[in-house]
């Protein structure tokens, strides 16, 4: 392992390094007679104790405390996780590092389901499945009253652990045929329309099977903030005071009118951009705090210590706040320490199907609220207008976006997704667009994910042989039967979302099993997991940390609810009661708590103005305000890169 001089600026911190955290000022610290004499004058020294051994013990305690203070509480050789993930596991140093093939751990590979395969040829068209199963009429509300911050955190987390590159070669495309007469993508009934689909880059293993690559580190290590390679990580640093670069307004740095972050998808939508900005600010806040506490520390030392704590905070929020909301309390086995024989790498089924669950919870409007819960003068932002729009973040900052996300209840966790990402048009009908549901289905086939039947068998779950089974959410068995020949054939992403929730999980047995396996391995197989790195009061503080704490520390949003993942619905409380049922934020968007207290809504999930919401959605999707050329280019690039499928 590489040894780094913390007093010198380093631009090559990539490989499993052990960094020296001592500095010139605290080297050669000596215990002088004067220092020992001074200790006898300390108020906490019990020099009058009649027991001489106790007096010596007290002296030693005070001496250690003073030495720690002088040395900045840093050991001479502190090991930090590498930027590219290498060296985490000493026996298998490549485990979890960037540019590794995804695992096939929970779900078997079925190459016959890949584009052109024998099974794929008899499977229903992805757009047909989307229209029959995934189409959403009006608004829904998730059963736990979770806020938009919940799915924003899920996306932020996903961009820390998975990124599958796609091919730029048109010969590698597997475009999705559009059914003739599709009202959005083939309104002229040409029968020749299609959605572009770039296949994932893959390598061929020893068995002749295609295996996809994870381009970033698998660990929850803040790679979305810091990067997954040394050169990019270095470019994000100011090299002053251990801080990351920022631009005007305490925003992330910009290049070609786009924000620059550790992950290349930081501009994908304004909610994600706000979350990215929040954590860059938190790093710099920690760096300032450390610099003040330890004025003799070098830039390198402050950077590494701030990064270490920042990552620990991300992990703590994920495991103590996000996952209990997703999977239920105590869904994961109890943590018993680092396990060197656990491979943390990303399971293909997790990245390609199970952790795309958040797509079903996206809201069609991203609220932007002021400190009183009112819509800001610049207005809310329709989801379809929120992609690759850093200008929308700059014009009013991240505070209104985070306030809106904390207030609004996310859509239901089910197979349905809003039209903004299912019937997304690049202008008028027939001028192109994308369907996120169809892309997800095609991506699963591209990766050769096994069908629902083989998946449940591999997971040791009871077979599901009928669309009338009570395993399905109400009404979805019939919808699936309208396009698939048997339950065994159903594509994993669709089937996992269509299952009834298992226990306190948002999802059924299949997705719960895949998610539990992945997040357990990410924790147990990470030598630098926060509970294996921190102790005492620091560990206690981390275990009590909440996302609301991070928001309050780094924004002017100082009245965020304690659990930011549960919607406050503050934007509803400021509206006249009679107007609530007629606004675009319908009663079905309220959390269960607000619904029970509202006279407008009869019960959970009842939408009193479903038809008007549907009409408004149609009008929005067929707006006479087409996207700009730059937006179209950005979105097409996003589709090609697999960011949206």
Residues designated as active site = 159
> How many other CB atoms are found less than 10 A from the CB of residue 529?
24
Q: Give the torsion through C-alpha atoms of 309, 311, 312, 316, to 10 deg.
A: 140
Residues 401, 405, 408, 413, Cα dihedral to 10°: 140
DSSP E strand boundaries for 416-486: 424-425, 433-434
**Do the Cβ atoms of 548 and 563 come closer than 8 Å?**
yes
Contacts of 157 (CB under 8 A, 6+ apart): 220, 314, 318, 322
Give the closest residue to 275 by CA, choosing from 550, 563, 556. Answer: 550
Q: Are 7 and 23 in contact (CB under 8 A)?
A: yes
- Which tokens belong to 147? 């806020």
Distance CA 401, CA 296 (A): 38
Rounded CA-CA distance 587/361 in Å is 16
Using DSSP, state whether 303 is helix, strand or coil.
Answer: helix
Burial (Cβ within 10 Å: 0-12, 13-18, ≥19) of residue 523? buried
Residues 6+ apart with CB under 8 A from 559: 371
CA distance linking residue 120 with residue 449, whole number of Å: 11
Name 346's Cβ contacts closer than 8 Å, sequence gap at least 6.
102, 103, 161, 162, 214, 218, 518
Q: What is the largest CA-CA distance in the chain?
A: 99
**Strand 18-19, strand 3-4: pairing:** parallel
User: Angle at the Cα of 275 (from 272 to 278), degrees rounded to 5?
Assistant: 150
Ramachandran bin of 99, using left for φ above 0, alpha for ψ from -120 to 50, beta for the remaining angles: left
């Amino acid at each position: 392992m590489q040894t780094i001089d913390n007093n010198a600026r380093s631009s090559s911190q990539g490989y499993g390094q052990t960094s020296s955290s001592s500095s010139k000022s605290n080297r050669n610290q000596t215990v002088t007679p004067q220092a020992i004499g001074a200790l006898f004058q300390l108020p906490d020294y019990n020099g009058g104790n009649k027991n001489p051994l106790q007096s010596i013990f007290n002296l030693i305690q005070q001496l250690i405390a003073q030495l720690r203070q002088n040395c900045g509480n840093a050991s001479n050789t502190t090991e930090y996780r590498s930027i590219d993930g290498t060296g985490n596991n000493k026996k298998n140093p490549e485990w979890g590092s960037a540019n590794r093939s995804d695992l096939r751990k929970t779900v078997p590979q079925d190459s016959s389901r890949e584009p052109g395969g024998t099974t794929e040829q008899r499977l229903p068209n992805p757009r047909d499945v989307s229209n029959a199963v995934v189409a959403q009429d009006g608004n829904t509300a998730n059963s736990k009253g979770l806020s938009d911050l919940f799915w924003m955190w899920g996306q932020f987390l996903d961009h820390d652990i998975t990124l599958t590159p796609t091919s730029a070669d048109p010969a590698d495309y597997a475009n999705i045929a559009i059914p003739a007469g599709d009202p959005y993508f083939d309104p002229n009934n040409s029968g020749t329309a299609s959605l572009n689909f770039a296949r994932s880059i893959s390598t061929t293993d020893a068995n002749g099977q295609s295996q996809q690559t994870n381009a970033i580190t698998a660990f929850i290590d803040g790679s979305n903030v810091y990067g997954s390679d040394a050169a990019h990580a270095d470019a994000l640093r100011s090299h002053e005071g251990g801080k990351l670069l920022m631009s005007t307004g305490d925003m992330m740095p910009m290049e070609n009118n786009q924000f620059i972050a550790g992950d290349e998808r930081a501009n994908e939508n304004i909610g994600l951009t706000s979350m990215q900005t929040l954590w860059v600010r938190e790093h710099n806040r920690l760096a300032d705090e450390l610099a003040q506490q330890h004025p003799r520390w070098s830039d390198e030392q402050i950077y590494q210590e701030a990064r270490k704590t920042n990552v620990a905070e991300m992990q703590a929020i994920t495991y103590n706040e996000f996952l209990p909301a997703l999977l239920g309390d105590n869904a994961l086995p109890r943590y018993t320490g680092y396990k060197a024989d656990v491979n943390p790498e990303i399971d293909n089924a997790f990245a390609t199907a199970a952790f795309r669950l958040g797509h079903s919870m996206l809201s069609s409007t991203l609220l932007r609220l002021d400190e009183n819960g009112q819509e800001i003068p610049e207005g809310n932002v329709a989801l379809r207008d929120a992609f690759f729009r850093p200008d929308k973040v700059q014009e009013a900052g991240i505070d209104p976006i985070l306030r809106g996300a904390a207030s609004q209840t996310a859509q239901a966790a089910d197979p349905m997704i809003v039209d903004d990402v299912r019937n997304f048009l690049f202008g008028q009908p027939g001028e192109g667009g994308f369907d996120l549901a169809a892309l997800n289905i095609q991506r699963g086939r591209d990766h050769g994910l096994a069908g629902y039947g083989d998946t449940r068998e591999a997971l040791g779950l009871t077979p599901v042989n009928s669309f009338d089974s009570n395993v399905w959410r109400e009404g979805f068995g019939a919808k699936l039967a309208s396009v698939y020949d048997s339950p065994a054939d159903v594509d994993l992403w669709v089937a996992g979302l269509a299952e009834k929730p298992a226990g306190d999980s948002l999802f059924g047995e299949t997705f719960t099993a895949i998610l539990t396996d992945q997040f357990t391995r990410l924790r147990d197989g990470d030598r630098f997991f926060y509970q294996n790195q921190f102790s005492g009061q620091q560990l206690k503080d981390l275990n009590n940390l909440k996302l609301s704490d991070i928001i309050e520390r780094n924004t002017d949003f100082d009245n965020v609810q304690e659990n930011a993942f549960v919607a406050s619905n503050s934007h509803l409380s400021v509206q006249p009661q009679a107007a609530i049922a007629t606004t675009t934020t319908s009663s079905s968007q309220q959390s269960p708590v607000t619904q029970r207290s509202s006279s407008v809504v009869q019960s959970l999930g009842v939408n009193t103005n479903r038809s008007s919401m549907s009409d408004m959605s149609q009008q929005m999707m067929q707006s006479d305000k087409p996207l700009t050329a730059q937006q179209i280019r950005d979105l097409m690039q996003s589709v090609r890169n697999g960011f949206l499928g």
